[in-house]
């Protein structure tokens, strides 16, 4: 009886020589293709050239080498079917008991900006996926290996007689996942000119980690990363407890919110995916002090995002009370040292905080998912619709306040003075409630402050409430059928009002 036969054809050759040597020790014969064959032979492995099995030389620059009936029949015939066995024997086809294949690097070639179209097309592996699928289909009798990460495990399993049906099935599963991800990458390449809203949304995700629990302790959860995307790796988790489900949501909000504050040092305090306070200043530490003053109570147990380097003195301030996460583009060594006092606090460095690198966002809903462009603009125009015009200082604060309401759950209204939130009313079911909440938080400081609203005011009731507290400038999208009432009220009470013609709901 002949030895078992392993067909080895791998693009990346790391580990393949040792793997093949181990297979030989376990009694396997090796057959191989082109560059793999050369390498194995150079390393003293007496491999059979696959052309001896196919009776056909490799042609068309390697486009056809293993694509031959002798190979596919050797892999695919059913060992438990008499007629299959007879066919294979009568045609002198050698059984192939293991296929080891590492595909052409299509994904890497597409990711390389210097690759030409021709180079990319040539990296669409044809023979590899065909062999992988054939071997995976016939896993009952054939072992399929698709990654050099599996080499050691495969040798261990065979050596200990544990290369049983279940293990071969497990390898088949990995193989089909590999070819599936490969096809997603190829299909997405061919759809690249269809823009963001393609007819087919082919997404592939792989589990990065199990999470301790979900939104609540009784819910299980895990985090999945998109295949061929290393965005998550850009988060440098300097210290702290493992990230939880809610932490991941909060970090995402922090990253999203900060994209609105690129032109000035800004500090955002976040609770339950909403900013509880935001402040900007020419000095980061002052911005931090202003932010904490904005809502010194809600920030407890929250997240602080800063768009500048965290210094020792800032770190000392942030360790003086309980925070879950601090995220910033950089930290000084002294700051990191200070944070070590609070072992559980997650300290996260994200160099691209404040940079826009995603144009669309996905959400799951009943029956499917929703895909939309991210809300990346602030206003369409700044139309002063009242007799009184805002002063330059008011205008600065109005624009700042409008950025804040862009970050909040709708309906939202916020009150701002000196680029600092005094009160944020958010997630309310009616705009007057949101206005009242913001006013309650701002207390007497509201005098001389400005207001922003993420949607239009349907009635003049909120304007009246602002006026009673001494607010003199308002920014809102406009667009209500009752805009006239609101403008008339503002004119009568010498309030200036700006229409932006751009709403910022966030559901
Ligand atoms: N066309 C074929 O018959 C074929 N058979 C195997 N390959 C690929 O050739 C690569 C190995 O290259 P080499 O034979 O030079 O070591 C592997 O990634 C394998 O997937 C092929 N190439 C692409 O389709």
Distance 174 CA to ligand 1 centre (A): 19
pLDDT in tens, 375-428: 999 999 999 999 999 999 999 999 999 999 999 999 999 999 999 999 999 998
pLDDT tens by residue, 91-144: 999 999 999 999 999 999 999 999 999 999 999 999 999 999 999 999 999 999
Instruction: Name the packing angle between helices 127-137 and 165-190 (round to 10°).
Output: 150
DSSP 93: P
Considering only CA atoms, which of 454, 431, 470, 469 is closest in space to residue 503? 454
Q: What is the pLDDT along the chain (507 residues), one digit of tens a residue?
A: 789 999 999 999 999 999 999 999 999 999 999 999 999 999 999 999 999 999 888 889 888 899 999 999 999 999 999 999 999 999 999 999 999 999 999 999 999 999 999 999 999 999 999 999 999 999 999 999 999 999 999 999 999 999 999 999 999 999 999 999 999 999 999 999 999 999 999 999 999 999 989 999 999 999 999 998 888 999 999 999 999 999 999 999 999 999 999 999 999 999 999 999 999 999 999 999 999 998 888 899 999 999 999 999 999 999 999 999 999 999 999 999 999 999 999 999 999 887 777 889 999 999 999 999 999 999 999 999 999 999 999 999 999 999 999 999 999 999 999 999 999 999 989 999 999 999 999 999 999 999 999 999 999 999 999 999 999 999 999 999 999 999 999 999 999 999 999 999 999
Strand 413-416 and strand 421-425: the pairing is antiparallel
Q: How far apart are CA 469 and CA 411, in angstroms?
A: 21
- My answer on whether omega of the bond before 479 falls inside 30° of 0, hence cis, is no
pTM over 0.90, yes/no: no
Encoding tokens for residue 78? Answer: 């059913």
- pLDDT tens digits for range 150-173: 999 999 999 999 999 999 999 999
Catalytic residue among 4, 272, 409, 464: 272
Gap between the Cα atoms of 415 and 424, Å rounded: 6
CB 175 within 8 A of CB 133: yes
Ligand 1 mutation target, pool 65, 74, 145, 179, most atoms within 8 A of CB = 65
Residue 482 appears among annotated catalytic residues: no
Q: Whose CA is nearest to atom 5 of ligand 1?
A: 127
What six digits make up the tokens of 506? Answer: 């966030």
Ligand 1 pocket test, pick from 30, 128, 144 with the greatest ligand atom count within 8 Å of Cβ, gives 128
CB-based contact 223:211 (threshold 8 Å) = yes
CA of 114 to the centre of ligand 1 (A): 23
| ipTM for this model | 0.86
**CB neighbours (10 Å) of residue 233?**
9
> Closest Cα to atom 12, ligand 1: which residue?
11
Tell me if residue 137 is catalytic.
yes
């Amino acid at each position: 009886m002949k030895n078992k036969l392993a067909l080895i054809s791998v693009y990346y050759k790391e580990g393949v020589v040792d793997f093949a040597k181990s297979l030989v020790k376990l009694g396997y014969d090796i057959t191989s293709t082109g560059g793999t064959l050369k390498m194995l032979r150079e390393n003293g492995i007496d491999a059979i050239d696959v052309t001896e099995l196919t009776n056909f030389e490799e042609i068309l620059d390697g486009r056809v080498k293993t694509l031959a009936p002798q190979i596919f029949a050797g892999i695919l015939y059913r060992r438990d079917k008499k007629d299959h066995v007879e066919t294979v024997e009568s045609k002198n086809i050698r059984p192939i008991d293991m296929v080891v294949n590492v595909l052409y690097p299509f994904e890497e070639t597409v990711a390389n900006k210097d690759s030409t179209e021709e180079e990319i097309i040539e990296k669409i592996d044809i023979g590899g996926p065909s062999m992988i699928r054939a071997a995976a289909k016939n896993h009952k009798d054939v072992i399929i290996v698709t990654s050099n990460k599996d080499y050691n495990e495969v040798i261990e399993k065979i050596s200990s007689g544990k290369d049983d049906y279940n293990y071969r099935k497990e390898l088949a599963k990995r193989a089909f996942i590999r070819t599936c991800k490969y096809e997603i990458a190829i299909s997405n390449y061919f759809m690249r000119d269809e823009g963001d809203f393609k007819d087919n949304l082919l997404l592939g995700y792989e589990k990065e980690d199990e999470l301790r629990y979900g939104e609540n302790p009784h819910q299980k959860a895990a985090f999945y990363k998109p295949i061929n995307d290393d965005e998550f790796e850009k988060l440098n988790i300097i210290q702290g407890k493992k990230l939880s489900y809610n932490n991941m949501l909060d970090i995402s909000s922090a990253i999203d919110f900060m994209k609105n504050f690129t032109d000035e040092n800004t500090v955002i305090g976040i609770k339950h995916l909403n900013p509880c306070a935001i402040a900007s200043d020419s000095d980061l530490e002052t911005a931090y002090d202003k932010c904490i003053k904005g809502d010194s109570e809600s920030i407890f147990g929250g997240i602080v995002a800063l768009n500048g380097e965290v210094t020792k003195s800032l770190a000392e301030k942030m360790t003086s009370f309980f925070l879950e996460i601090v995220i910033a583009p950089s930290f000084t060594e002294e700051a990191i040292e200070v944070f070590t006092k609070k072992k559980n606090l997650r300290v996260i460095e994200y160099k691209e905080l404040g940079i826009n690198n995603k144009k669309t966002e996905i959400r799951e809903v009943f029956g499917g998912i929703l895909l939309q462009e991210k809300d990346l603009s602030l206003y369409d125009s700044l139309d002063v619709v009242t007799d009184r015009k805002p002063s330059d200082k008011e205008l600065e604060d109005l624009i700042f306040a409008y950025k804040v309401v862009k970050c909040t759950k709708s309906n939202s209204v916020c009150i701002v003075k000196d680029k600092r939130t005094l009160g944020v009313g958010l997630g309310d079911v009616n705009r007057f409630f949101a206005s009242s909440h913001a006013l309650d938080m701002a207390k007497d400081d509201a005098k001389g402050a400005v207001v922003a609203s993420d949607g239009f005011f349907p009635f003049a009731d909120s304007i009246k409430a602002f006026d009673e507290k001494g607010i003199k400038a308002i920014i809102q999208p406009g667009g209500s059928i009752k805009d006239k009432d609101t403008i008339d009220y503002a004119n009568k009470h010498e309030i200036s009002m700006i229409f932006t013609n751009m709403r910022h709901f966030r559901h």
